[in-house]
Structure 1
Amino acid sequence: MGSEAEADFVVPDHLTREVFRKCIEKDLNVDNIRIVHFEITPGSSPGDNYTSKIYRCKVIYNQPHTEDKTIHFLAKSMIVIHLSDDFSQSDIIEREINVYRDLLPKLSKFLGGTIVAPKCYDIFTEPNQNFIFEDLKALGYTCADRVSGLDADHLKVVLNKIAKFHAASIKLLEEEPSIEGAFPLGFINEISMKEPVVQGFFKGNLKLAAEIVNTIPGYERFSAKLMKVYDNFVDIALKMMRPDPVKDTKVMNHGDLWVNNFLFKYNEETKEPTDVLFVDYQGTFVNSPAIDINYLFSTSAQLDPLRRKLDLIEKDYYPVFVNELQRLEVKSVPSLEDIFGQIRSREMFSIINLFAVLPLVSINREESKTNDYTQFLDADKSKRKTLIGMYTDRFMEAMKFTLNNLEDVIDETINEYS
Structure 2
Amino acid sequence: MSEVPDSVYQILNEAVHGDINNYTINEHDKNKKGEGFTGEMCFVSLKNKHGDEDLHYVVKQRLPIESPRVNLPISAYFLNEISFYTAVWPHFQKFQKDKLNGEALDIIPKCFATSSKDRNENLVLENLKFQDFQMHNKTNPLSNEQIELIFKQYGRFHAISFAYKFINPREYSEISSKLQNLWPSTVRMFKEFMGKINDICLEFLDPDEESKVIEKFRSYAESSVEVFTERSRYKGCYSAVLHGDCWSNNMMFKYNEDNKLTDMRLLDFQFANVGTPVSDLSYFLYSGAGKEVLDELDRYLRLYHTSLTKTLEHFGCDSENIYPFDALKKDWKDYCKTGFSMALLVWRGKFTNPSDVKDLQDILEETDTLSDDKNSKDRYDEQSFKETVKNLILHMYDNDFL
> Displacement, 1:283?
0.8
In structure 1, distance between residues paired with 2:114 and 2:54: 21
DSSP 3-state at the match of 1:169: helix
CA–CA distance in 2 between the matches of 1:387 and 1:347? 30
Asked if 1:2 corresponds to 2:35, the answer is: no
User: CA separation in 2, counterparts of 1:303 and 1:214?
Assistant: 16
Could you tell me whether the CA contact under 8 Å between 2:84 and 2:179 is conserved in 1?
no
Partner amino acid, structure 1, of 2:232: M
Q: Alignment partner for residue 239 of structure 2, among 250, 263, 280?
A: 250
Matched, 1:334 2:323: yes
Give the superposition deviation at 1:262. Answer: 0.5
1:226 corresponds to 2:217 = yes
Give the whole-Å Cα distance in 2 for the aligned partners of 1:231 and 1:302.
26
Q: Against the structure 1 CA distance between its residues 151 and 386, is the aligned structure 2 distance closer, same or farther, given a 3 Å change threshold?
A: farther
Residue equivalent to 1:240: 231
162, 175, 180: which is aligned to 1:170? 162
Paired residue for 1:416?
A: none
After TM superposition, the score normalised by the length of structure 1 is 0.82
Shift of 1:162: 1.3
Matches of 1:117 and 1:59, distance apart in 2:
21
| Residue 404 (str. 1) matches residue 400 (str. 2) | no
The one-letter amino acid paired with 1:185 is N
Aligned to 1:377: 365
Greater Cα offset, 373-382 or 338-347: 373-382
Q: Match for residue 324 of structure 1?
A: 311
Q: 1:103 deviation in Å? A: 0.7
What does the per-residue CA deviation read over 1:182-212, in whole Å, with 9 as the maximum and x for residues that have no partner? Answer: 3352412xx445x4x33233344212322x2
| Aligned equivalents of 1:398, 1:329: Cα separation in 2 | 42
Q: Distance in 1 between matches of 2:70 and 2:390?
A: 39
CA distance in 2: counterparts of 1:122 and 1:221, whole angstroms = 53
Q: Which residue in the other structure is 2:78 paired with?
A: 93
SS in 2 for 1:14: helix
Single out whichever of 388-397 and 375-384 deviates more from structure 2. Answer: 388-397
Report how far residue 44 of structure 1 moved. Answer: 2.4
**Partner Cα distance (2:230, 2:380) in 1:** 26
Residue 182, structure 1, aligned to residue 178, structure 2: yes
1:314 aligns with 2:302: yes
Deviation at 1:54, TM superposition (A): 1.0
Counterparts of 1:263-342 in structure 2, within 5 Å, are 263-267=252-256, 269-315=257-303, 317-331=304-318, 332-342=321-331
Contact 1:147 1:365 in 2 (8 A): no
Q: CA deviation at 1:125?
A: 4.1
- Structure 1 spans left out of the alignment, 5+ residues: 4-10, 414-418
Q: Deviations over 1:150-206 (max 9, x none)?
A: 111111221121111100011223312223433352412xx445x4x3323334421
**Distance change (3 Å), C-alpha of 1:398 and 1:337:** farther
Instruction: Look up the equivalent residue of 2:55 and give its one-letter code.
Output: I
Question: Amino acid of the residue matched to residue 348 of structure 2?
Answer: P
Cα distance in 2 for residues equivalent to 1:376 and 1:346: 28
Return the letter of the residue paired with 2:2: G
Letter in 1 for 2:351: S
Correspondence for 2:127: 135
Partner AA of 1:115 in structure 2: D
- Name the structure 2 match of 1:6: none
Q: Given that residues 214 and 221 in structure 1 are in contact (C-alpha distance below 8 angstroms), is that contact kept between their aligned partners in structure 2?
A: no
Distance 1:122 1:238, change over 3 A: same
Structure 1 residues 380-407: Cα deviation after superposition (integer angstroms, max 9, x where no partner): 2344798667754443222222222222
Rate the CA distance shift 1:364–1:86 in 2: closer, same or farther, 3 A.
Answer: closer
Paired letter, 2:397: E
* Cα distance in structure 2, aligned partners of 1:178 and 1:275: 32
Verify: 1:153 aligned to 2:141, yes or no: no
Q: Are 1:170 and 1:251, in contact at CA under 8 Å, matched by a contact in 2?
A: yes
Deviation, structure 1 residue 342: 1.1
Letter aligned with residue 14 of structure 1: S
Residue ranges of structure 2 left out of the alignment (5+ in a row): 97-102
Indicate the residue corresponding to 2:41 in structure 1: 54
Letter in 2 for 1:354: A
Q: Percent identity?
A: 17
Partner of 1:71: 55
Give the counterpart letter for 1:77 in structure 2.
Answer: Q
Cα 1:184–1:98 change in 2 (3 A) is: closer
Alignment of 1:37-52 (within 5 A): 37-52=24-39
1:380 is paired with a residue whose SS is: coil
